[in-house]
Structure 1
Amino acid sequence: MSKTMKESLILLINIGVTNPNIENNHSALEKAKEIAKRKIEKMIFLSPKDEIAIMLMGSSVTKNDLNTQHVEEFTDFQIPNWDFVKKCMALERTNHCSNWVEALIAAVEFMEKNVVDVSTRKIILISDFNEDADIISQFQADAIADRLSKGNIKLITISEPSTSLTISRKFLKDVYEKINGQHTTFDKVLSDLKFYTPASKKPCPYYYTLELLDKKIHITSYIKIDIEKFPSWKTESRNNEKFEKKTEYLNRQRVSYSKDEIVKGYKYGETFIPVEKNLEECMSYKSGGKSYKIYGFTNRNNIDLEYLYKSAPHILLPAKESENITKPFYSLVLAMQKTNSVAIVRKVLGNNSSPRMVALFPCIDIPDEPWCLVEIELVFAEDRRVMETRSMKSVMKQLLEEQNEAVDSLINSLMLSDTQDSCEIDGSQYFLPGYVPNPEIQHKWHILSHRVINPDKPLPPMENYLKEILEVPSVKERSKSHLQKIVKLFRLESIDPKKEKNEIKEQDNIQLDNNIDTEESNKIEDIADVESNSYKELEVLSLDTSDIDFDEMALRGARIRFNLSQRRDGVSCGSTGALARAEHIHQHGYSL
Structure 2
Amino acid sequence: VGFVQGLPEMSKEAICVILDVGKSMATERDDGTTRMELAKRYVQMLVQAKLLFGAKQDELCMILFGTAVTENKLNEEHPDHYKHIQHVHVFKRPDLDVLETLAAVEAEYAEGDVLDALFVGLELIVSRVRHLKFRKRIFLITDGGGPLEGKAHLEVLANELKHEDVRLNIIGIDFEEQDSDDEDEDEEEEKQPERKRTEKEIENEKLLRKLAEDTGGQVFVGSQAIDALNFIRKRSVKQVHKYKGPLKIGDLEIDVITYGKTAVQNMPSLKKTSQPAEEGGSLDTGVKMERTYWNKLGEEEEEVDREHRTKAYPYGKQLVPFSKADEELLKYTCEAALTILAFVPKESIRRYWCLSTVDCVVAQAEKGLRNGLKFSALIHALKEENLFAVARYIKKRNQKVAFVVLTPETNEEFECLYINQLPFSEDYRDYTFGSFEEKHKPKMEQRVAMRSLVRKMDLTRCEDEDGYEYEGLVMEDIQNPTLQRFYQIVEKRAFDPEAEIEKLDPSVAKSLCPDEQLLKRAKGEIKAVVSAFPLQVVEKAAKKKKRHWREYLDDDVDAKVADDDDDMAKAKKLKSVAAAGEDVKLDKIVADEVDNISSADPVSDLRAMASRKDDPKIITRAISQMLEMIQNLVQNSYGTSDYPKAIECLKALRDVCVTNDESDDFNTGMELLAKSFKSRKSFWDMVVAENLRPIDDTECAGSKYTKTQADEFLAADKEEPADSAPAEPEPEDDDIFDSME
Matches within 5 A, 1:82-231: 82-111=96-125, 118=132, 119-131=134-146, 136=149, 139-148=152-161, 153-159=166-172, 160-162=174-176, 166-176=202-212, 178-194=214-230, 196-199=233-236, 204=241, 206-231=243-268
Rounded to whole Å, the distance in 2 between the matches of 1:382 and 1:520 is 36
SS in structure 2 at match of 1:12: strand
The answer to whether the Cα contact below 8 Å between 1:309 and 1:377 also exists between their aligned partners in 2 is yes
Distance 1:499 1:219 in 2: 66
In structure 2, the residue corresponding to 1:72 is in which secondary structure?
A: strand
Are residues 1:342 and 2:355 paired?
Answer: no
Q: What is the one-letter code of the residue matched to 1:69?
A: K
C-alpha separation in 1, matches of 2:526 and 2:470: 29
Deviation per residue, 1:286-334 (Å, 9 max, x gap): 33x2222233333333322343223314334466664653454444444
* Paired residues of 1:220 and 1:319 also in contact (CA < 8 A): no
* Distance in 1 of aligned mates of 2:377 and 2:168: 48
In the TM superposition, 1:247-262 aligns within 5 A as 247-249=291-293, 258=304, 259-260=306-307, 262=309
CA distance in 1, matches of 2:541, 2:240: 47
TM-score by length of 2: 0.60
For 2:504, the aligned partner's letter is M
Shift of 1:85: 0.4
Alignment-derived partner of residue 482 in structure 2: 440
> Aligned partner of 1:470: which letter?
L
1:404 aligned partner:
447
2:237 and 2:390 mapped to 1: Cα distance? 32
CA contact (8 A) 1:17 1:24 kept: no
Q: Of 289, 295, 314, which aligns to 1:267?
A: 314
Aligned to 2:678: none
Structure 1: gaps (5+ residues):
523-536, 546-592
Measure the CA separation in 1 of the matches of 2:207 and 2:259. 46
Structure 1 residue 246, shift from structure 2 partner: 0.8
CA distance in 2, matches of 1:514, 1:147: 84
Q: 1:32 aligns with which of 30, 39, 48?
A: 39
AA partner of residue 265 (structure 1): A
Aligned-partner SS, 1:75? strand
Counterparts in 2 of 1:502-581, with a 5 A limit? 511=590
For residue 33 of structure 1, report the CA deviation from its aligned partner.
0.7
Which whole-Å CA distance do the structure 1 matches of 2:131 and 2:377 have between them? 48
Distance of aligned partners of 1:511 and 1:254 in 2 relative to their CA distance in 1, 3 Å threshold? farther
1:304 maps to: 350
Distance 2:46 2:505 in 1: 18
Between the two proteins, what is the percent identity of the paired residues? Answer: 20
Q: In the superposition, relative to structure 1, how do residues 515 and 59 fare at CA in structure 2: closer, same or farther (>3 Å)?
A: closer
Which amino acid is 1:194 matched to?
A: N
Aligned residue runs from structure 1 range 27-106, under 5 A: 27-45=34-52, 46-65=54-73, 66=75, 67=79, 68-106=82-120
Opposite residue 433 of structure 1, the aligned amino acid is M
Match of 1:581 in 2: none
- Check whether the contact 1:224–1:315 (CA below 8 A) recurs between aligned residues: no
After superposition, the Cα gap between the structure-2 partners of 1:189 and 1:201, relative to the gap in structure 1 and judged at 3 Å, is farther
- Greater shift after overlay, 274-283 or 159-168? 159-168
Aligned residue pairs, count: 517
Query: How far did 1:448 drift?
Result: 1.5
3, 8, 14: which one aligns with 2:20 = 14
Partner of 1:85: helix, strand, or coil?
helix
Secondary structure of 2:230 counterpart: coil
**How far is the alpha carbon of 1:452 from its aligned partner?**
0.9
Distance 1:251 1:15 in 2: 69
Which residue is equivalent to 1:454? 496
1:368–1:445 distance in 2 versus 1, CA, 3 Å: farther
Q: CA deviation at 1:481?
A: 5.4
SS in 2 for 1:247: coil
* Cα distance in 2 between the residues matched to 1:179 and 1:172: 11
Q: What is the CA-CA distance between 1:30 and the residue it aligns to?
A: 0.7
Are 1:280 and 2:295 counterparts?
no
Amino acid at match of 1:49: Q
State the AA in 2 paired with 1:7. Answer: E
Residue 519 of structure 1 and its aligned partner are, at CA, apart by: 8.5
Distance 2:47 2:152 in 1: 32
Give the CA deviation at 1:125. 2.2
Q: Conserved in 2, the CA contact under 8 Å of 1:64 and 1:110?
A: no
Q: What RMSD in Å do the two structures reach over aligned CA positions?
A: 4.5
Aligned residues of 2:463 and 2:470 also touching (Cα < 8 A): no
Distance 1:306 1:514, change over 3 A: closer
Distance in 2, matches of 1:498 and 1:255, equals 59
1:574 corresponds to which residue?
none
* Corresponding residue SS for 2:235: coil
Partner of 2:400: 354
Q: Say if 1:16 and 1:58, in contact at 8 Å, map to a contact too.
A: yes
Q: By how many angstroms is 1:43 displaced?
A: 1.6
Give a deviation string over 1:522-580, Cα, whole Å, max 9, x none: 9xxxxxxxxxxxxxx999568679xxxxxxxxxxxxxxxxxxxxxxxxxxxxxxxxxxx
**How far 1:131 moved relative to its partner?**
4.4
Contact between 1:13 and 1:56, CA under 8 Å: does it hold in 2? Answer: yes
TM-score (norm 1): 0.73
Alignment CA distance shift 1:158-1:388 (3 Å): same
Residues 153 and 217 (structure 1), Cα distance of their counterparts in 2 relative to 1, 3 Å cut:
closer
Task: Name the amino acid aligned to 2:358.
Answer: A
